[in-house]
Structure 1
Amino acid sequence: MDTQPSHARYSSVWPGLRLVTAVLISAAIVAQLSRTIETAAASQTPHGSHLPTVVGNFFSYFTIQSNVAAAVALVVGSLWAWRRGNTPEPRWLTVLLACTSTYMIVTGLVYNLLLRGVVLPHGTTVPWSNEVLHVVGPLIMLADLLWSPGRRVLPWRAIGVVLVFPILWVLYTLARANLVTSPMSSAPWWYPYPFLDPHVVPSGYTGVAGYITGIAVVICAVAAFVVWVGRRESPRVDRVRHR
């Protein structure tokens, strides 16, 4: 007869689910990177076949960076849980998971609200990988946020930590854009997403600023939601200390 408490079984299964998710996300990234390199190898233009630029562009997408971070966080979280059992997560791990959960949820929202209908050249994307990176991964990270055991409560000021990476990513993207020739169009600029490209967005940089502001509001709202979820459940650690 199984005498192990249900909450203990739940705590022991969750690290495995995290690890499986990390493997799935990693496989999706590798599959799409392989397709991207294949497309570059078949390109008839010097810009399209310039592998360092193509690979650099690939890892410049917020989606890819978010998924890489999520895979790392899930692996670290799994190893910690298996090593420490029911010990509450250290603060740094909870912050890492809060950050990656926010970025993945935002990735899912932005893709499905703004980019789902964007038509890309046939054969440049791996359909199943695209869904894992933009839908499955974000949903699983949301589930991890809501139900993973052992997560500590964070103070509201943790929202500021979550916002650091998106700010740096926008600065990096806008600074790099005019230093890169587009592999596909040979235009003397390259933006990872059309809503950041002042050459296609109505009103140019003003329109881009509007999109950035709107997405910044979404990121702040999601970050606040992530912190709130951790604070709302009384069983989680350090509730009184961080009111």
Structure 2
Amino acid sequence: MNTWWPYARLAASALALAAVIAQLSRSIENAVANTTEWGSHMPTVAANFLSFFTIDSNILAAIALAIAAIWALRHRDTTDAEPRWIAILLVCASTYMIVTGVVYNTLLRGIELPQGVTVPWSNEVLHVVIPLLLLLDVLFAPRRRALGWSTIFIAAIFPIVWVVYTLVRANLIIAPATGDHWWYPYPFLDPHRVPGGYLGVSGYVVLIAAIIIGAAALVVWVGRRRGIRSTPEA
């Protein structure tokens, strides 16, 4: 497994990037074809694209997998555990991708989108395939380093920042597709669509926070069970 796992990581990284690029190309095509001022405003379209948690998570996953694979290939003659910073990066990427898979397939799978907005194969790769591959990486990747429980809080930093950013930015943006004076990347964060407004949104935020903490705890626990400890960890 030590010999071929880095190549599997590189392949998964390339697949994630290909899916992101395919969806970005579709988003740009739609913006170019849009006849409204707000719908064809490329800086907003690009910023919105990068404001999706799914996109950010897949980009991070691609980077983490590539870095871990390159490190393993450069140190193939040793049995050392991966460096701590790579292990933390993988915990974060794995947590976010597992959450992406769970949230999409439980809350968003059945939501109808306008024809041509998404690239079907890319959508499945970003929301199903890469999450599953990251889960397999957690369970079976060799040379994983066992980390302390404090890593859970490190993994929670980005989602907290992302939620705050999303809710603040939302009312400063005109939605490209509708012209509404707000834009939310996901319907469960939109107080105009969620029953109870911001109170209802806060319920979803708490639920997703619990999923993130649970996923991070699972990833760290598995790492502590099967990983290599170089020094005692809290």
TM-score bin, normalised by smaller chain: over 0.9
Distance 1:149 1:126 in 2: 33
Partner of 1:210: 203
Distance 2:180 2:51 in 1: 18
Partner of 1:14: 5
Partner of 1:65: 56
Partner of 2:216: 223
Q: Cα deviations across residues 110-154 of structure 1 (Å, max 9, x unaligned)?
A: 000000011111011100000000000000000001000001101
TM superposition shift of 1:242: 2.2
Distance 2:168 2:162 in 1: 10
Distance 1:14 1:129 in 2: 23
Partner of 1:187: 180
Partner of 1:116: 109
Runs of at least 4 residues off by over 3 Å = none
Correspondent of 2:74 among 83, 90, 94 = 83
Asked if the contact 1:22–1:75 (Cα under 8 Å) also holds between the matched residues in 2, the reply is: yes
Distance 2:208 2:50 in 1: 20
Distance 1:201 1:239 in 2: 48
Work out the percentage of aligned pairs sharing the same amino acid. Answer: 56
TM superposition shift of 1:53: 0.4
Query: Which structure would you say has the larger Rg?
Result: 1
Distance 2:80 2:224 in 1: 18
What is the TM-score with the length of structure 2 in the denominator?
0.97
Q: Cα deviations across residues 87-106 of structure 1 (Å, max 9, x unaligned)?
A: 21000100000000000000
What is the TM-score with the length of structure 1 in the denominator?
0.94
| Residue 170, structure 1, aligned to residue 167, structure 2 | no
| Residue 44, structure 1, aligned to residue 38, structure 2 | no
Distance 1:231 1:81 in 2: 20
Distance 1:231 1:74 in 2: 19
TM superposition shift of 1:84: 1.1
Distance 1:239 1:218 in 2: 29
TM superposition shift of 1:12: 1.3
TM superposition shift of 1:240: 7.2
Partner of 1:103: 96
Distance 1:197 1:129 in 2: 24
Partner of 1:5: none
Residue type of the alignment partner of 2:48: N
Q: Give aligned pairs, total.
A: 232
Residue type of the alignment partner of 1:229: V
Residue type of the alignment partner of 1:82: L
